Chain A
């Protein structure tokens, strides 16, 4: 797990945990949203901003802001998988990660060892990107578009 973020950084205190839990959705769209979000947490605007900065710098949070739905924008998401020969793994990873359409990429312990998500602005963009990757790497890209998504009740409890 060479590049996986770890928690060797500063330990999280209760305030950090309350911030992560409270701000998983519903951040205000208002002129002073940090001040507004800070109040119920018993924090000042400056304290909340400083803590969010630290949580992002230490990779406790991977991102803070709006999350977009490519499908609602007229585009598409597609989970893809490849069986990458071990000796080519780093090279292929670099090729895949360089593409802006690749939103996430995970190494998994399986014959199909590279799993990534393509996010494109048009449904046709998925096939195009997959074909380009196949051309570039000479490897087959299996595509697993979602047919249905089931209710997601899960939240990380910090």
Chain B
């Protein structure tokens, strides 16, 4: 599913955000020498193909009182991991849940679940709920609190060369 040069230019023009102006797609088009209909049509096609996941707001968790953000990590038996991951991911306080490879000996954990709360007490309570759900299938776990956002820009395409 390759992108053509025009799709790439649209991505480059919108990856930092949409223009905050009444006709944003016309503005993007004007900057790129494209018509508004072409910009809208191509973005709709990218949305359809999943290249664009969604168009909307990215709320800053901290701004909504979710000031404690912990990455909970679990060493779960491999054969059980997919089923358990499904259950954990469906919890309403888990924002992201992934299976990832372990990096032994540095890192024994294969299931990652991001948990958010108003404070660490709340996050620990949620973490305990996950531990209950995993039960004896989990051999050990840890939690890594984020203490600082160092960068959050999302994907950036490199400028096309030549």
A and B: bona fide binding partners: yes
A-side interface residues toward B, CB under 8 Å? 1-7, 12, 19-20, 23-27, 29-35, 45, 49, 52-53, 55-56, 58-70, 72-74, 79, 81, 93, 96-97, 100-110, 112, 114-116, 119, 121, 142-154, 156-158
Q: Nearest Cβ in chain B — how far from A72, in angstroms? A: 4
With a CB–CB cut-off of 8 A, which chain A residues contact B11? 66, 68, 73
A-B contact count (CB 8 A): 257
Known contacts A29-B44, A105-B151; is-contact A73 B100 (Cβ 8 Å): no
Contacts of B46 in A (CB 8 A): 66
Chain B interface residue bracket vs A: 35 or more
- Whether the Cβ atoms of A100 and B152 lie closer than 8 Å is no
Q: Contact mask B6-24 → A, CB, 8 Å, 1/0?
A: 0000010011111011111
Residues on A with beta carbons closer than 8 Å to the beta carbon of B154: 63, 67-68, 103-104, 119
Question: Contacts of A153 on B, CB cut-off 8 Å?
Answer: 89-90, 92
Give every chain B residue within 8 A of A5 (Cβ-Cβ).
60, 62-63, 149
Report if B129 contacts A (CB, 8 A): no
Residue in contact with B55 in the complex, picked from A65, A121, A145, CB distance below 8 Å: A65
The 8 Å CB contact of A144, one of B100, B145, B148, is: B100
* B90 surroundings in chain A (CB, below 8 A): 150-151, 153
25 A-B pairs with C-beta separation under 8 A? A2-B148, A4-B62, A29-B55, A49-B20, A55-B57, A59-B63, A61-B58, A61-B59, A63-B57, A64-B17, A64-B56, A65-B18, A66-B54, A66-B55, A67-B55, A68-B154, A70-B155, A72-B1, A104-B153, A107-B148, A107-B150, A119-B155, A144-B107, A149-B89, A152-B97
What chain B residues lie within 8 Å of A66 (beta carbons)?
A: 11, 14-15, 18, 43, 46-47, 52, 54-55
A144 near B16 with CB under 8 A, answer no
Main SS of chain B's interface residues? mixed
Q: Are B150 and A154 closer than 8 Å at their CB atoms?
A: no
**Does B106 reach chain A (CB closer than 8 Å)?**
yes
B86 touches A150 (CB 8 A): yes
A81: which B residues are within 8 A, CB to CB? Answer: 107
- Cβ B22 vs Cβ A154 within 8 A: no
Residues in chain B within 8 A of chain A (CB atoms): 1-3, 11, 14-18, 20-26, 36, 40, 43-44, 46-47, 49-66, 71, 82, 85-86, 88-90, 92-101, 103, 106-107, 112, 142, 144-158
Kindly report which residue of chain B lies nearest to residue A37, judged by CB atoms: B56
In the complex, which residues of chain B have a beta carbon less than 8 angstroms from the beta carbon of A34? 20, 22, 24
